[in-house]
Amino acid sequence: MTGWIAVAGLGPGDEALVTPEVTQALAEATDVVGYGPYVARVAPRDGLVLHPSDNRVELERAAMALDLAAQGRRVLVASSGDPGVFAMAAAVFEALEDGPAHWRELDIRVLPGITAMLAAAARAGAPLGHDFCAINLSDNLKPWSVIEKRLRLAAEADFAMAFYNPRSRARPEGFAKALAVLREACGDDRLILFARAVSTPEEALRIVPLGEARAEMADMRTMVIVGSSRTRIIERPGAPILYTPRSVPEDAS
């Protein structure tokens, strides 16, 4: 049996948002490797071995997947959202680069998924309709000084900003510091979207001005999108529409 690895994105939560390509890879896989809650989303079946693991063992998880594939197994490495956005694709390639030479001969594919940033933006309207950036607010793999610098520069460039991993139990103060930096750089009027558990039964969206944003409005299941200076709301019956126009006037620079 010829082994392979598919690093796959399971989307933001709803099974309808899993791509047909990922569904096919799951049907062919002999093993699924991933963070426990993501592996739990995969239905058990005969011939499929599930390998759930903890949140902070990405490199060990990647090495396990590569080793299984080298043994001839068909391995799906599960990420939520898209595997290339703050997820397992980079971890697999880090392990590959530092691992034994024969791993480089493996069939390794990255199967894209709908990331939380895009799912949240679509639910709200089109807040990422012009230039934007994505920043991971976790300081597990980079120092806070780097995060703060990137926040200030993104604000100066007037990007809309999508924030992953805004606030966890282990570091509840980080998002409060990020909000303080943004208020200093952008003022209080910039619109901010809190989109929690998008595409699941627990989905909740909230749009407030930056001056009214509080750290406790976010957790690790929340995607936070801060608009640019051009982002606006269209009021209408029911939920409003949050969007960023496609153009910037010449005098905006």
Q: Which string of DSSP letters, residue by residue, matches the chain?
A: ---EEEEEE-BSS-GGGS-HHHHHHHHH-SEEEEEHHHHTTSPP-TT-EEEEE-TT-HHHHHHHHHHHHHTT-EEEEEESB-TTSSSHHHHHHHHHHHS-GGGGGSEEEEE----HHHHHHHHHEETTSSSEEEEE---SSS-HHHHHHHHHHHHHTT-EEEEES---SS-THHHHHHHHHHHHHH-S-SEEEEEESTTSTT-EEEEEEGGG--GGG--TTEEEEE--TT-EEE--SSS-EEE--S---GGG-
| 148 lies in the same domain as 176 | yes
CATH number for the domain including 43?
3.40.1010.10
Q: What is the pLDDT along the chain (253 residues), one digit of tens a residue?
A: 689 999 999 999 999 999 999 999 999 999 999 999 999 999 999 999 999 998 889 999 999 999 999 999 999 999 999 999 999 999 999 999 999 999 999 999 999 999 999 999 999 999 999 999 999 999 888 999 999 999 999 999 999 999 999 987 777 788 999 999 999 999 999 999 999 999 999 999 999 999 999 999 999 899 999 999 999 999 999 999 999 999 888 876 6
Domain count, the chain: 2
CATH number for the domain including 125?
3.30.950.10
| 12 lies in the same domain as 98 | yes
Task: Answer yes or no: pTM beyond 0.85.
Answer: yes
| 197 lies in the same domain as 93 | no
